[in-house]
């Protein structure tokens, strides 16, 4: 066979045997590299006329025949049941029931004198498949001990069993793109990912790549060079002078897509030319590091160059070696060394200092603020507490009585909330109504290409008073302040909906969400 990465013609002599299960043994294998002439012919085959493509197919069939005979002679092979020929893919458009494999003409059987099994992609599409990948049955019987099998070739593909059904599909382009970028540096490929690892992430490109429609489609699905040329290359060409950064960014993209398709899998077989890319494999391994939920650590022991951790989960015992282990069990107040008990200050069993609304402890002339007073342990809460305490100390009427304290997780995208959450309201059996505005309908978000966000408002069912707000999206930390003010002021959905917000801004998403509740929204079609 010949892959889209054009490494050469791969030929292998294999013995299969079935006892309790199918076993195999590779007796001989080799890759015959293409000459420069053939590399150019295959690269340019997409642009050939029908007549010239037919001619090239005949020539390539003869080339494959000669290489097969060369292989047989080179390794003195005598016993051959059949020759399986994949050929070389020129066109692949399974959505339109079309694929074209070159090198599988009847002449191949006449030339080599053996039974030939070929046209795998065509047959697969004929019976409703995508024509790729073509090895899931083999992987099922030969590598059943793995949760899934991933090939990192010109394209990455995966096969695994889901709900008792064997499935396989293409994940994303790999060497097809990496080699394309390497050739811009006059290299056939980036050996070991040595160049890629020195790059920097191009964040906007990384986001655009991960948003491509293919990744949201359900299987079955496959990819071809046509899709790469239409969807990937135009994005890369926006950064003509950043080849190293492009290699790094695209490698991160591959790792992201592979990891998304192997969630909760602990035993994955990785093959293909991309498996030799050390940097790419490191990226994938970092993405695939298992996240164990409902798991108890039973022991941690130091080894010479690693830390061994043993765990128990669902009656399973696990063991992993790590470079480092971070133990995070929450925060405890550093009150132990303050000798607060000597002056009679009351503390909780966890060590937090009790205070009233004026930030006084149980001793009138001693105040406490910040994390030492308990949750929420946030800097903006501590700042407000400090102002209250200072005012009380100087006999200015003041008290710490916030209706809400907004919280932010500074991820990308950011997550921010203020007031009640749906989980809290449901747990307390409190009725509520909600309205949401997706950022896909926000002019500002579209202009920024940050449409992955959402603004959600929770209301009292009857009065429509705001009781909670959640925002996920770019700069959510800057937007949540208005939400906190709305809750503090006791705003109703109508108050927010009738407040004119500047356009185009992300703040509009707040008034838009209120308009959804008021049924006055014009930016969305809601039947």
Query: Distance between CA atoms of 169 and 131, rounded to whole angstroms?
Result: 9
Max avg pLDDT among 221-235, 259-273, 285-299: 221-235
Provide the b/e sequence for 108-122 (b: ≥16 CB within 10 Å).
bbebbeeebebebbe
| Residues 92-116, mean pLDDT to the nearest whole number | 78
Count other Cβ atoms within 10 Å, centred on residue 484.
Answer: 20
Q: How far apart are CA 29 and CA 75, in angstroms?
A: 9
From 86, 214, 501, 503, active-site residue: 503
Res 219: pLDDT: 79
Structure tokens at 310: 């043993």
pLDDT in tens, 119-134: 777 777 776 666 666 6
The most confident of 35-49, 199-213, 296-310, by mean pLDDT: 199-213
Task: Reply yes or no on whether the pLDDT at 503 is more than 90.
Answer: yes
Q: What is the pLDDT of residue 91?
A: 74
Mean pLDDT score, 495-522: 95
Residue 95 — pLDDT band, cuts 50, 70, 90?
Answer: low
Catalytic residue status for 15: no
What number is the average pLDDT over the span 196-224? 88
Strands 98-102 vs 407-409: parallel, antiparallel or unpaired? unpaired
Residues paired with residue 131 on neighbouring β-strands, in sequence order? none
Residue 159 confidence class, pLDDT cut points 50, 70, 90: confident
- CA–CA gap between residue 473 and residue 414 (Å, rounded): 5
Which element (helix H / strand E) includes 485? helix 476-488
Tell me the torsion sign for CA atoms 151, 157, 159, 160.
positive
CA pair distance 108, 104, nearest whole angstrom: 7
Q: What's this model's pTM, rounded to 2 decimal places?
A: 0.49
Strands 433-438 and 414-419: unpaired
Contact 168, 136 (CB under 8 A): yes
Q: From CA 254, how far away is CA 249, in angstroms rounded?
A: 9
| Confidence (pLDDT) at 321 | 76
Instruction: In whole angstroms, give the CA distance from residue 10 to residue 264.
Output: 33
Residue 387 pLDDT > 90, yes or no?
yes
Residue 71, Cβ neighbours under 10 Å: how many? 18
Q: How far, in Å, CA of 186 to CA of 202, rounded?
A: 22
Q: What is the mean pLDDT of the chain?
A: 88
pLDDT tens digits along 289-320: 666 767 888 999 988 777 888 988 776 777 77
- 178 vs 156: CA distance, rounded Å: 12
pLDDT, one tens digit per residue, over 64-79 is 899 999 999 999 998 8
| Tokens encoding 500 | 């004119």
430 secondary structure, DSSP code? -
Q: For position 238, what pLDDT does the model report?
A: 93
10 Å Cβ neighbour count for 6? 19
DSSP for 305-367 reads: SSEEEEEEETTEEEEEEES------------GGGTGGGGT--B-TTSPBP--TTSB-SSTT-B
Name the phi and psi angles at 323, rounded to 5: -70, -45
Long-range contacts of 164-167 (CB under 8 A, 24+ apart): 166/136, 166/137, 166/140, 167/136, 167/219, 167/220
Residue pair 385/400 in contact (Cβ under 8 Å)? The answer is yes
Query: Please, is 411 exposed, middle or buried when counting C-beta atoms within 10 Å of its C-beta (0-12, 13-18, 19+)?
Result: exposed
Distance CA 527, CA 95 (A): 32
User: Where residue 179 falls among pLDDT bands split at 50, 70, 90?
Assistant: very high
Task: Show the beta-strand stretches assigned E in 201-306.
Answer: 268-271, 296-302
- The structural domains of the chain, ordered by start, are 1-131 (3.30.420.40), 143-291 (3.30.420.40), 336-393 (3.50.50.60), 407-518 (3.30.390.30)
pLDDT of res. 5:
64
Which residue from 48, 72, 78 is spatially nearest to 60, judged by alpha carbons?
A: 48
pLDDT tens digits for range 18-31: 888 888 889 999 98
DSSP β-bridge partners for residue 37: none
Please give, one letter per residue, the 3-state secondary structure of 155-205: EEEEEEEECCEEEEEEEEECHHHHHHHHHCCCCCCCHHHCCHHHCCCCHHH
Q: Report yes or no: 465 and 472 within 8 Å, Cβ to Cβ.
A: no
Question: What mean pLDDT is predicted for residues 386-400?
Answer: 95
Q: Please, which pLDDT band fits residue 505 given cuts at 50, 70 and 90?
A: very high
Contact yes or no for 239/268 (Cβ under 8 A): no
């Amino acid at each position: 066979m010949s892959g889209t990465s054009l490494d050469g013609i791969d030929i292998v002599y294999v013995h299969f045997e079935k006892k309790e299960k199918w076993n195999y043994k590779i007796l001989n294998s080799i890759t015959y590299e293409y000459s420069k002439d053939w590399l150019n012919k295959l690269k340019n085959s997409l642009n050939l006329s029908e007549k010239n493509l037919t001619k090239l197919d005949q020539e390539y069939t003869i080339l494959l025949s000669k290489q097969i005979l060369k292989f047989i002679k080179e390794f003195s092979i005598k016993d051959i049941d059949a020759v399986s020929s994949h050929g070389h893919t020129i066109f692949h458009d399974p959505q339109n029931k079309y694929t074209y494999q070159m090198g599988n003409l009847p002449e191949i059987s006449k030339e080599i004198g053996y039974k030939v099994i070929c046209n795998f992609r065509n047959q697969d599409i004929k019976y409703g498949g995508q024509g790729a990948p073509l090895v899931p049955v083999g992987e099922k019987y030969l590598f059943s001990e793995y949760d899934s099998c991933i090939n990192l070739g010109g394209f990455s593909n995966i096969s695994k069993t889901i709900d008792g059904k064997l499935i396989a599909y293409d994940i994303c382009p790999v060497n097809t793109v990496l080699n394309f970028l390497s050739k811009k540096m006059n290299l056939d490929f980036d050996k070991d990912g040595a160049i890629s690892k020195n790059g920097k992430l191009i964040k906007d490109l990384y986001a655009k790549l991960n948003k491509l429609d293919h990744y949201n489609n359900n299987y079955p699905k496959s990819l071809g060079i046509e899709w790469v040329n239409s969807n990937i290359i135009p994005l890369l060409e926006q950064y003509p002078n950043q080849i190293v950064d492009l290699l790094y960014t695209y490698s991160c993209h591959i790792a992201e897509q592979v990891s998304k398709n192997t969630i909760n899998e602990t035993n994955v077989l990785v093959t293909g030319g991309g498996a030799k890319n050390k940097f790419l494999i490191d990226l994938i391994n970092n993405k695939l590091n298992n996240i164990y939920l409902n798991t108890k650590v039973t022991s941690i022991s130091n080894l010479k160059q690693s830390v061994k951790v043993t765990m128990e989960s669902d009656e399973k015992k696990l063991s992993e070696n790590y470079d480092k282990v971070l133990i995070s069990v929450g925060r405890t107040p550093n009150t132990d060394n303050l000798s607060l008990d000597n002056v009679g200050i009351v503390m909780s069993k966890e060590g937090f200092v009790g205070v009233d609304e004026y930030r006084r402890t149980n001793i009138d002339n001693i105040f406490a603020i910040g994390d030492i007073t308990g949750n929420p342990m946030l800097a903006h809460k501590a700042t407000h507490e400090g102002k209250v305490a200072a005012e009380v100390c100087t006999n200015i009427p003041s008290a710490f009585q916030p209706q809400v304290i907004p919280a932010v997780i500074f991820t990308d995208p950011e997550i921010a909330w203020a007031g009640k959450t749906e989980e809290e309201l449901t747990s307390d059996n409190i009725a509520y109504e909600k309205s949401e505005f997706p950022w896909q309908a926000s002019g500002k978000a579209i202009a920024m290409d940050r449409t992955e966000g959402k603004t959600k408002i929770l209301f009292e069912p009857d009065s429509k008073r705001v009781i909670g707000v959640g925002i996920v999206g770019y700069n959510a930390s800057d937007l949540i302040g208005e939400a906190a003010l709305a809750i503090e002021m006791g705003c109703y959905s109508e108050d927010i909906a009738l407040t004119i917000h500047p356009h185009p801004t992300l703040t509009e998403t707040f008034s838009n969400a209120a308009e959804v509740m008021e049924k006055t929204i014009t930016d969305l079609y809601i039947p």
